Amino acid sequence: MMTQSPEDHRIHRREALIQLLRLAGAGAAITGVGFWLARRSSRPEESLAAIINRSFTVPENPKLPEMVVAQGDDPRVMVRRALEELGGVRRFIARGDLVVVKPNIGWDRTPQQAANTNPDLVGEVVRLCRDAGAAKVIVTDVSCNDPRRCFPRSGIAEAARAAGAEVVLPDESRFREVDLRGDVLKSWPVFEPFLAADKMINIPIAKHHGLTGATLGMKNWYGILGGQRNRLHQRIHESLVDLAVFMRPTLTIIDAYRILLRNGPTGGNLEDVVLKKTLLAGTDPVALDAYAAKAYWDLDYSRLPYLKLAADRGLGTYDFEKVRTRAITL
């Protein structure tokens, strides 16, 4: 009888994880899937830029998963259960915290068009933070389209306010010039709420992007910046990593309930949207991005260079099959 080598086992786990996301959606059966994967090596700490002199992250716990994949019909139930698996919301949020929640609210689109983060998911994250004792929860983004249209039409403004958040639209008077100390990003205007937080929760939506192939967690940090952000597209992968070093979130939750598979990031055509009824949550933003990119667009670090650049700078691992992972069906 042949024994399975460690490399064969790693490949098997990788393919099983990828199939978990690819087969998800209405009517997809994912019974019997539950992964506790090998612990990866610890990540070195990087110094952050001036003004923000600390990470927003929480200490690792080797007894808990680093990534949770939740699938079900209700994003609110899914995120509650995902956070329970990760150790509970109070692992991430302490009483009195000022929490900033960063969805994607970039586009003048409805939730069904999958260009912005699911509003039910955002609202539930706000509610959980408030229940954990957060003094204030701010929901904000620096939109690409007119924020006066993006925030209400996305459904996020209403859902966030109903859950107890302060919804802050970008205002030119509230940007501060910050030395980001990046390889590409030097001095750049940053929206003030992102400089005042105690905890930072990143909630991007998984969608196609015409330049990089996919936009996920690290790309969502473009929404903290003012100025001419299109200038960053000339060296987009390096700028993404500079931002990821600057903004190390407490928690990343990737909304894959509806996915914009084509014609992103703006979308608009419902034929480009597929229902996956999934979310990914965890403490390794590189692994989360790598997993979603591979499963949905067959992209790896050779086609998304920012994944390897981020790993090289100690932000996580692009070998997503190596992180401790829990899959749940609701």
pLDDT attached to residue 232:
84
**Sign of the CA dihedral with 238 first, then 239, 240, and 246 last:** positive
What's the whole-model pTM score? 0.89
Residue 230's Cβ-side half-sphere holds a number of Cα atoms within 13 Å equal to 1
> What does CATH list as the number for 13-329?
3.40.50.11440
pLDDT attached to residue 22:
84
* 246-303 confidence digits (pLDDT tens): 999 999 999 999 999 999 999 999 999 999 999 999 999 999 999 999 999 999 999 9
pLDDT attached to residue 27:
47
Torsion of CA 239, 241, 245, 249, to 10 degrees: 110
Question: What residues does each domain of the chain span?
Answer: 13-329
pLDDT attached to residue 20:
86
pLDDT attached to residue 23:
82
Positions in the chain whose pLDDT score sits under 50? 1-2, 27-53
Question: Strand 199-203 relative to strand 205-207: parallel, antiparallel, unpaired?
Answer: unpaired
pLDDT attached to residue 7:
67
Residue in this structure with the two tokens 């209700």, named with its chain if needed: 74
pLDDT attached to residue 126:
98
251 three-state secondary structure:
strand
